[in-house]
Structure formats: C-alpha cells, structure tokens
Structure 1
Amino acid sequence: MLKADYQYYPLKFKQASGTSRGVLTHKDSWFIRIWDDKHPNRKGVGECSIIRGLSSDDRPGYEDKIKEICTSIDDFWYYLEDGLREWPSIYFGLETAFLDFQAKGNKILFPSDFTNGKAKIPINGLVWMGDFGFMKEQIQQKLENGFNCLKLKIGAINFEEEIKLLQSIRSNFSADKIELRVDANGAFSPKDAPMKLKILSEFQLHSIEQPIKAGQWNEMADLCLTSSLPIALDEELIGVYGSDLRKELLDTIKPNYIILKPSLLGGIKGSKEWIDLATERNIPWWVTSALESNIGLNAIAQWTYTLNNPMPQGLGTGQIYSNNIESPLFMQKGFLAYSSHGKWEI
C-alpha cells in the first residue's frame, strides 16, 4: 500500500541574492516522500518549492494542498493527470517523487552517461544583481572558475552602470570567447525597452530574457519583431495553462527562444509540452532551474541531459544555499557533473 508524507524545508541563501523583485534571503521548499509499506526504507523524494511573487501557485493553501495529496496518495493518477493543473510546483514535486520511488529511492531518475559520471552538462554562470563592485567581483570569479557563458541579472541598478559592466567584459573577452546572456526579469517599460535593447545589442549578447513584464503579448511581439537582440521568454510562460493558449502565445509573440523551468511550468510533463510546441515552430529553448535544492536540481539536470540540447543550460544554482542537501552533483569548469561515487544526504 502506498504511503506519503511531506516535510517543510526552508532553504537559506549563503548571501542575500538580488533580483528585480527584491533581495532573496531564503526560499520556501517542501519535500514529498512516497513509499510502499512493504519497503518503508525505499522512499521516493520530490521537491515542491516556490519563488515568492513569481510562482503562479504562490497563494494561500499551498501546504494544505501538499497535505491533501499525501493523505490521498492512492488517487495519484488524478493528481498526475489534471488535478494539479494550477499547482505546477507541487506537480513537479509529486512527479519526481514517483520517478524516484520507481527507482527505489536511489535518486537515479533518468539513467544515462550523465548519472554514470561519463558526461557533463554545459551551464551558464549566474551573476546576481548588486552594486557595480559586487557584480564585477562575481564576474571575475565565474571566469576564474572556467565558465565561458555568463548570465547577468540586470534591471536593479543604474542602466549606465550595467553597461559599464558589459563594456568591461567585452574589452577583455570577445563574443567567441565568452557568451553573454542578460535577464531583465521584466524590469524595462515597453516605452524604454527598444532604446535599451538597441544599446545592449552593441555588446554582441546571446539574448535577453523577459525585457518587459509578462502579460503584454502585443508589446512583446513588437519587440521580438524589431529588436536586433534576440529575446527569450521566461516569466511569460508562467500560468499559461492548456495547449491552445500556449500555441496562441507562441504564435502571437514569435520569440527567439523560450526558457523552461519545470517547477514553474507544471513539471517535466508541462515543460515537455512547451518544448514540443516550440520545436514545431523552430523556436530554440533551454532549461533552467528555479533555485531548487539539490533534490529538485538533480531531477531537472538528469532529464535535461536526455534532451541532447548542446546549449549551456541554467543549472548552476546548487551552491547558493548554506543548508542544501548533500548530493553527487558538482560544478566543474562551466559544467554540471554527477559523481558516480557521490553520496546523498539522507
């Protein structure tokens, strides 16, 4: 007989991390655990976690929903079909807990050369928002650590200061040496965005994520049509349920890229639906974690490797917490790897 329970586990940032929505010091996470009462030590574990102000299921009743699932685990097919349509991060937790349960709790959800320690995933180095000195220090550290793709969060400090940072990088590293991505998290206004995108395009950037706030489809479509800087949709995909609405979004905006965060988009299943729709329209994509612990990051990374996408993925967030779960995941010179001899914290 199936059993389930959950545990609240707030993740603590090693240092406060700046975004356009404010400074993050912790992240709310819950672990769902599933087991068969005949084998109580073989627990499948999945992570449900939200980013306050961003996740579409950041609302009252979140933990009650997890509790409901755990007390009704025999109805799991209902929840894995459409019962969690508007609870995407809980779907991701339940979905991956079952994958781990099927793997007898060994955390190898998608066996591959990645989990065997024979292959690595290229990732971008994430540079958090902050003052000029702090961001420059992070950039230098990432370069010393072997990253050749950097993602800078912009939109929180003076735009001219951010341009100076980009000038500093480009004066030392050409586009064929260092790939630069920027993420505005919707910080620009539709009125100012065209001018700012034009200035940013001078630095041979790979792309900009979400230059204006989500929900402005026509304005975003105009930017994608006229900007010489490729635009990637991120927040725009959140809370868009159903295949018809997703098709309408992609056909209206016609983005250069989309970015997939399983915790925000309905798990691996929901993310795969977006990938299929994007592929039909020749829209490239990449996968990004949404600041999960190593439990969630492990599931996302293992799945991402099976997709054979050669682009650097956004999976470099495993070292930002002081109380993360010890795992075989590790970063190595711009890659995420999995040690076949590594141990999981119980």
Structure 2
Amino acid sequence: MKLIGDNNEFGIGEIGPLKGLSIDDRPDLEKCIDSVCHELEGKEIPQKEALLDWLKSNIDQDFPSIRFGVETAILDLLTKGNMKVFDCDLIDSHMPIPINGLVWMGDESFMIEQIEAKLRSGFDCIKMKIGAIDFETEIKLLKSIRDRYTKDEIVLRVDANGAFSPRDALNKLEILSSLDIHSIEQPIKAGQIEEMSNLCNKTPLPIALDEELIGIDKKEEKAILLDRIQPQFIILKPTLVGGNLSAGEWIELAEERNTGWWMTSALESNVGLNAIAQYTSYLHTAMPQGLGTGQLYYNNIESPLVIEQGKLKYDHSLEWNNPFD
C-alpha cells in the first residue's frame, strides 16, 4: 500500500496475509482494505510514540496484516519515504542479523544435501519442519543429522506446527530432547491453553509459542496468556500479530517474565521483510532470527537486503526497485 503525505512524499507498506493462517485471510480482504483506507482518509498521522495506540483505535484487531501495512507505510512516510522505518544497526552500522536456515523434511539424502548447502552458505542455526511424515522416520532423520553434526556445529530448531496430540506430545518431546534440539515451535495446536501450559511445565525441551499468539490484541490479554502457559520462548510474526509495534508489546511482556523470543517473517516480500528486519535490529538481539523466507520468491522486489554467511545484511551499494515509481 502507498500512503501519500505532504509535498507528494509517500510511504510504502505491505499487506500480505498468510493464506490459511492469518485471521484476515478472507475473500473480501480487498474491500476491507478499501474501507479502512476510506476511514483513515483525512485523519492526522500520529508520531511514532503514539502509533500503536492509534492503530488499535482505528483498525480492527481482525485485520492484523492491514495494521502491519499501514504501520510500515506511516513509519516510512515519517522518514520521508526512504524505506527506513526504524533507526537500527542493520543500516546505520552495517551490522547484519544472524538468521536460521530453513530445511524441509524429506528423505535422509535430501535433508543432508540441504544442510550441507546451508553450512556452505555460513548458517550454523537450522530450522526443520516436522510432523508431516511418520514420527519415527523423522527421528531417524534427525538422529542421522546429529550423528554428523554436534550441537556446537549446528543449532537445531524444529517446528511441529501443532502436529502432536496433547496425549503423546510429552513423550515425543522427551525423544526429541535426546537429540540436543534447541527448541520446538508449537508442538500442539493453538487454543489448548491448559494442555500447552502443562507441556511447558513438564517439557525437557524448550517450547516456543507461535500460532498461539495470533488473534490476541489487548496488552492485558497477552500478559494473561503468557502467565497461564509460561512458555520458554515466543515467536513473533508481525504480519500475523498486527505489526512490529504490537510484536514489541509481546516482547516487552516476555522479557518481564524471562521468556525468550525471536522474530520471523511470514512470506512477505522485501518490503515487509525490510520493516521486520529493521525493527529486529532496533531491538539489539543476538539470537538467530527467522528472516529468510523471502528467498522463496521468484518475483521479489529488488532491494538492498541480501543474505550472506547465514546473516541478513543491508548492502548500501544496492538500491530499491520501488514498486510505485
């Protein structure tokens, strides 16, 4: 989306709900975007300090991807439309962000091939999707990786996407923990609060909440969820939780509870990835982030964002190919 200000300056944001997961993945989304833009027309644009409250007051919580797009466009406009939405070391100090490499589950040779390619590319943190095939086969594949690479050589994260049942989840976590797994994302489906709380209390393997955070907007409701479940980590996807500033609210609450966190992109183009990466850098975290999904595009918007040696960097020798020029 394009937000026009004075003197023909404009800011750019991305509205890109993730199909099948975003709560605003709906057939009438374009009409909803038009309606929101109509409602916002003529309203005074807030400064950054008041932006989160302004977004919550003006855009319904059922439209997190619209909030993310409007938030980014406003922040871009406030800096005269130069695609810099946060002061951050990524741009100002040329400091790259370490990221995890994503490996898709498959047969042993396919997975080893992917991991070796990631290692050659400089990654030392690997995230693997599990839950799509037989669990015993997945364990065998993970074990074959650990037999080749120690935890000092590769940090292994796994993402179950809610594939385990509450009944057998703890047993599976115990098996996974023997393989020096860093953490597991969303072992059971979101919405099973008591079951997830019980798992986080008993788990031998750190649990990271992901889909569990979607749809929760009020700060007090976020605090209640964290207090009830007490996860070891939370994972923030700004497109799904209502923007970077809303993710920051989660992070503030998590840090108060000594809960770890990291940021993850959700198939945004480089416009959305740029905003997420800048905010991540602004927060000064050293943990590997999940910011590499833009590589899956074949028609992405050209930008200074590049991945080198397992890190996302901002190459000042490259320029933006502005989609609105």
2:181 alignment partner, SS class: coil
Give the alignment partner of residue 159 of structure 2, picking from 152, 165, 183: 183
CA distance in 1, matches of 2:170, 2:99: 29
The answer for the alignment partner of 2:49 in structure 1 is none
Query: What are the ranges of 5 or more consecutive residues in structure 1 without an aligned counterpart?
Result: 1-31
Q: Which amino acid is 1:80 matched to?
A: L
1:38 alignment partner, SS class: helix
Is 1:33 matched with 2:9?
A: no
Query: What are the ranges of 5 or more consecutive residues in structure 2 without an aligned counterpart?
Result: 47-52
CA shift for structure 1 position 60: 4.0
Cα contact 1:34–1:101 (8 A) shared by 2:
yes
CA shift for structure 1 position 250: 0.7
Compute the TM-score of the two structures, normalised by the length of structure 1: 0.86
Is 1:90 matched with 2:58?
A: no
The answer for the alignment partner of 1:100 in structure 2 is 76
1:48 alignment partner, SS class: coil
CA distance in 2, matches of 1:94, 1:131: 42
CA shift for structure 1 position 69: 2.8
**Bigger fraction of residues in helix:** 2
CA distance in 2, matches of 1:129, 1:33: 38
CA distance in 2, matches of 1:46, 1:129: 33
The answer for the alignment partner of 1:53 in structure 2 is 20
Distance 1:135 1:63, change over 3 A: farther
Cα contact 2:89–2:282 (8 A) shared by 1:
no
Cα contact 1:132–1:161 (8 A) shared by 2:
no
CA distance in 1, matches of 2:126, 2:214: 24
CA distance in 1, matches of 2:93, 2:303: 13
CA distance in 2, matches of 1:276, 1:137: 39
Is 1:294 matched with 2:270?
A: yes
Is 1:218 matched with 2:194?
A: yes
CA shift for structure 1 position 226: 0.9
1:151 alignment partner, SS class: strand
Cα contact 2:270–2:302 (8 A) shared by 1:
yes
My pick for the range that moved more, 216-225 or 125-134, is 125-134
Cα contact 1:116–1:340 (8 A) shared by 2:
no
Is 1:264 matched with 2:231?
A: no
CA shift for structure 1 position 83: 2.5
CA shift for structure 1 position 297: 0.2
The answer for the alignment partner of 1:327 in structure 2 is 303
My pick for the range that moved more, 165-174 or 111-120, is 111-120
- Superimposed CA distance per residue, residues 114-141 of structure 1 (whole angstroms, 9 cap, x where no aligned partner): 1146211011001134455443332221
CA distance in 1, matches of 2:239, 2:221: 19
Distance 1:168 1:132, change over 3 A: closer
2:14 alignment partner, SS class: strand
Q: Which amino acid is 2:55 matched to?
A: L
Correspondence list, 1:307-346, <5 A: 307-346=283-322
1:126 alignment partner, SS class: strand
The answer for the alignment partner of 1:44 in structure 2 is 11
The answer for the alignment partner of 1:8 in structure 2 is none
The answer for the alignment partner of 1:207 in structure 2 is 183
The answer for the alignment partner of 1:145 in structure 2 is 121
My pick for the range that moved more, 148-157 or 132-141, is 132-141
CA shift for structure 1 position 113: 3.0
CA distance in 2, matches of 1:52, 1:79: 27
The answer for the alignment partner of 2:144 in structure 1 is 168
Q: Which amino acid is 2:16 matched to?
A: S
The answer for the alignment partner of 1:19 in structure 2 is none
Q: Which amino acid is 2:33 matched to?
A: I
My pick for the range that moved more, 159-168 or 196-205, is 159-168
Cα contact 2:157–2:183 (8 A) shared by 1:
yes
**Bigger fraction of residues in strand:** 1
CA distance in 2, matches of 1:342, 1:82: 38
Q: Which amino acid is 1:35 matched to?
A: I
Cα contact 1:96–1:299 (8 A) shared by 2:
yes
1:330 alignment partner, SS class: strand
CA shift for structure 1 position 67: 1.1
Q: Which amino acid is 2:270 matched to?
A: N
Distance 1:67 1:129, change over 3 A: farther
The answer for the alignment partner of 1:29 in structure 2 is none
CA distance in 2, matches of 1:89, 1:135: 33
Is 1:80 matched with 2:55?
A: yes
Cα contact 2:112–2:145 (8 A) shared by 1:
no
- Superimposed CA distance per residue, residues 260-285 of structure 1 (whole angstroms, 9 cap, x where no aligned partner): 11111110121111111111111111
CA shift for structure 1 position 331: 0.5
CA distance in 2, matches of 1:117, 1:273: 26
Correspondence list, 1:91-130, <5 A: 91-116=67-92, 118-130=94-106
CA distance in 1, matches of 2:22, 2:105: 20
2:3 alignment partner, SS class: strand
The answer for the alignment partner of 1:12 in structure 2 is none
CA shift for structure 1 position 259: 0.6
